[in-house]
Amino acid sequence: MAKLYFYYASMNAGKSSTLLQTAFNYGERGMRVMLWTAAIDDRPGFGAISSRIGLSSDAHRFLPGTNLHDAVLRQHDDAPLACVLIDEAQFLIRDQVFQCARLADEQDIPVLCYGLRTDFQAKLFPGAAALLGIADALIELKAVCECGRKATMNLRVDAAGKAVREGAQTEIGGEDRYVALCRRHFMARLNADAS
């Protein structure tokens, strides 16, 4: 029986690398996969899934109105899919998460979602909240805080390196403005930079 998986972690934990390695492993065995990523990054040349270590692959792009269930079934009807891999899953809307569950439950296609759990204000992303609620398997990928503990939080910093406390939930192209920290150091930086 296929499952809906949610692999979550802080920034820079290797989520995209893990997804691309999984796609490679399936392909090496002659199995077809379908890759998806959020269309939120509309800068020229973006839309592929890429990792900090240099791996990349083109992918289908989803918007809030994209019907993932129907799009996947169209591909699956052409030639069977072994699984669906979704990067930036925190940007899925609730309905899309349930569409992914239907693919696993009704079509027996495993769906592996990779994304952030929380934003820089420690608030759940909508897609992450839905996945945490209904996924069959929750797998936390590990990043490391500067102290050596597990990093679970995403601190956004300004150009001077000070913690940002307010703003839009998403900052396109601002990967260098985030620091993965354990909760203790996340709170310490927020409190220190507030004064």
Active site residues: 88
123: tokens are 């608030």
32: left (phi over 0), alpha (psi -120 to 50) or beta: beta
Q: Which of 131, 81, 139, 132 is nearest to 110 (CA)?
A: 81
CA distance 189 to 120: 12
CB 10 within 8 A of CB 150: no
User: Quick check: 30 and 56 in contact, CB under 8 A?
Assistant: no
Residue 57 to residue 69: CA distance in whole angstroms:
21
Q: Are 24 and 33 in contact (CB under 8 A)?
A: no
Q: Which residues, other chains included, contact 185 with Cβ-Cβ below 8 Å and sequence gap of 6+?
A: 145, 146, 147
182: its two tokens: 């354990």
